[in-house]
Chain A
Amino acid sequence: MSIKDSIRLPWSPAIKLQQLTGKYFSQTTLGTSILFTAAGLVWLAVMGLAALFFRLILLNPYNTEAIAPIYYSLLTLHGYVAMYILVPFLTIGIGMYAMYKEEGMELTHFDLVNVLFWLANLGMVIALAGGPMTSWYITPPLGLLQTTFNFYSGPAIALTYIGLFITEACITAVAGITVFDGIRTRRNKGKLSIFPTYALTFTAMIVFTTPFLMATLMWYTLGILAHVYVNPTVAFLLFWMWGHPVVYFVPFAVFGALYAYIPKFAGRKLFSEKWARWNLFLLFVFTMLVWAHHMLVWPLPVWIRGFVNASTLLLAAGSGVTVLNLGLTIFLAKRYDFSDIRGLAYFLALLGFIIAGIPALILPENALNPIVHNTYYVVGHFHLMIWTIIILGSMGIIIDQFLNAFGRIAPLSNLSLKSIRAGLLLWFGSFLVVGFAMMAAGYQGLIRREIAYPVEFLPYMQTMTIFAWLGGIGFVLMAVPAFSMVTRWLVMKYYSGEVEQ
């Protein structure tokens, strides 16, 4: 009997494993893309709840050290989940969906991608189990201070580093597999359509930039376990070589969706496809040349300051070309279809991106950065970006994804459509207020990440907290119909016998 025959025995672990993977692993490209975007939404809910709770803590300007562990734990959870897992998951999910929907490109390594997906989640759980208080301090900027490791050192920190390393390694591998499989299975000839072009380019960027973060994490692990000297300047550079491009993964992948679908809802062609395609090079290259603008209060040489100031403004010009292209497309159309919730989501994402982007122009200016450096101004700017182009842009794509996957069997009811519409508008309006309250307070000197603050800022904090909770209600209004859609789909499939009972 050959070895092949022997593994076909009923008790063989290989068969058992095959049954399990066949039953629980996603085996379609659309399903796998939903796995990533849906997991992204779950992590979004987790980190959003953390933020809503620490906003309550911030209602007291006289907080003492007693509350600090809870506050910083929640803050760590919020930031870590957002940067290390939510953003790459959404990017990969959007990348998979774009290539599947527009070009019929498919994943082929389903089992591997599923295993990596669960390992990435597990890594994040391990990282947070290492102690959120320790996590907060382990990467730059606080990870640069020697005193940090006088207070927080030992195996728990190493565990956190290793957990994050596992997550990032898995994410990098999945991003690579997605692009590789997609290119291999492409059947169409000629130019790749615009949505997958953008989405896959910025999925590929995960592969180009995340190794820098992995190197930083491994270096710190060796620092803890083997007492290897960590050069703070080099560690900081490595961290930001990932830490800046990461903020563009989702926005620029979403740009692809805006280029593809805003013209459809406007009922005309994109104003300039040529601008959109050439702009990709600018966005891709300059995304990786601007990270030093996070270091403007460091003793950097003048030529680096000049370079990074200019490169950031050039990147902003690239974003400007994008919004102008899309704005002209809508302007020159006869009408824009707001009745479709996807059309509304894409429009709000575009509008939010403009409103969030313009106030950022002060940030890379060398002479002016110290006025707003490390204040709520920065927080307001990048959160507005997250709330609009990242979350609302992704929402448009996810609604489309869900309608494609579940809509035929479990279509959205009128009430669900109204709920999602109300959720989109409530989310957008509320977070617009929070963002501008943050920027106004930051301009007046409110430092971020502090538990106590001058009492003059209390009205700003109250505004932020109230409207953040309203925005949270907006999320629930969008999530409940999506959840009920999936539940209904599962129930229908179950009773029709398509799902194994």
Chain B
Amino acid sequence: MTKAGLAVLLIIFLGTAVMAAFISYNLIATSSPPFRAYPSPFSKYVGQPLGEVQVNQTALASLVVSQGKVNGTTNNGVILYIPFNWTLNLTVYNKESFNLTVIMGDASYTVPTNSSMLISIPHLSEGNYTLLISGEDLTYQANVSVIKDLLSPYVYIGE
């Protein structure tokens, strides 16, 4: 019996046990409703890359793909799950040479060319909201992905 062998076996079994505990902690912390917040230390950084305020509740966004187009999201949008009573701030930067139309839920907004707009919708009720962006330019609407030198619109989402 060697100490080196014992060390190897201990690392295998204890390591797996520690990892199982770590995985369980992350699973509970991210999926159980009473703790639906990023476990520390994530909460410290969430929101920072967007340059917005800290988010302390989970926001869910999912991409809808109909017609099998992933790259050019023609006829598709982003579904946002909004918790109760949230204020949604959408900042849309339009760097195109034409106006963009932003459709959020039932409302529609026009963002003029080379400008940005803050769309603020307070006190939302809980549920899924579809965010769609389209342009006045017909080629743009037909197939976003193939236009050369296109600068895609940037959308920042904050609480």
Contact = CB atoms under 8 A, between A and B. Distances in A.
Interface of A: 144-147, 150, 232-233, 266, 299, 320, 323-324, 326-336, 338, 347, 350-351, 354-355, 358-359, 361-362, 365, 367-368, 371, 443-445, 454, 456
B45 interface: yes
A331 B8 contact: yes
A336 B30 contact: no
A365 B65 contact: no
Contacts of A371: 26, 30, 42
Interface in B9-51: 9, 11-12, 15-16, 18-20, 22-23, 26-27, 30-31, 41-42, 44-46, 48
B57 interface: no
Contact of A351 (B11, B42, B46, B71): B11
A359 B19 contact: yes
Given A299-B62, A361-B23, 18 more contacts: A146-B71, A146-B72, A150-B148, A232-B71, A266-B2, A323-B8, A327-B8, A328-B5, A329-B5, A350-B8, A358-B15, A359-B19, A361-B16, A367-B27, A367-B30, A454-B45, A454-B48, A456-B44
B11 to A, nearest CB: 5
Contacts of B20: 361
A323 B7 CA distance: 12
User: DSSP majority for the B interface?
Assistant: helix
A319 B48 CA distance: 38
A361 B16 CA distance: 9
Contacts of A358: 12, 15-16, 18-19
A368 B157 CA distance: 23
B15 A355 contact: yes
A233 B16 CA distance: 35
Contact of A354 (B15, B22, B31, B70): B15
B117 interface: no
Contacts of B15: 354-355, 358
Contacts of B146: 146
22 contacts: A150-B148, A150-B149, A150-B150, A233-B70, A299-B65, A328-B9, A330-B8, A331-B6, A331-B8, A332-B1, A336-B5, A351-B11, A354-B15, A358-B16, A361-B23, A362-B23, A362-B26, A368-B30, A371-B42, A443-B41, A445-B46, A454-B48
Contacts of A146: 71-72, 145-146
Contacts of B70: 232-233, 299
B25 to A, nearest CB: 10
A355 to B, nearest CB: 7
Given A150-B150, A323-B12, A362-B19, A367 B6 contact: no
Contacts of B1: 331-334
Contacts of B107: none
Interface of B: 1-2, 4-6, 8-9, 11-12, 15-16, 18-20, 22-23, 26-27, 30-31, 41-42, 44-46, 48, 62-63, 65, 70-72, 145-146, 148-150, 152
B93 to A, nearest CB: 16
A331 B19 contact: no
Contacts of B48: 454
B42 A444 contact: yes
Contact of B11 (A334, A335, A355): A355
Nearest to A153: B148
Contacts of B16: 320, 358, 361
B9 A327 contact: yes
B7 to A, nearest CB: 8
Contacts of A323: 8, 12
Contacts of A338: 4
Contacts of A144: 71
A347 B2 CA distance: 13
**5 interchain residue pairs of minimum CB distance:** A331-B5, A330-B5, A327-B8, A358-B15, A445-B45
Contact of A299 (B23, B30, B63, B149): B63
A317 to B, nearest CB: 11
Contacts of A361: 16, 19-20, 23
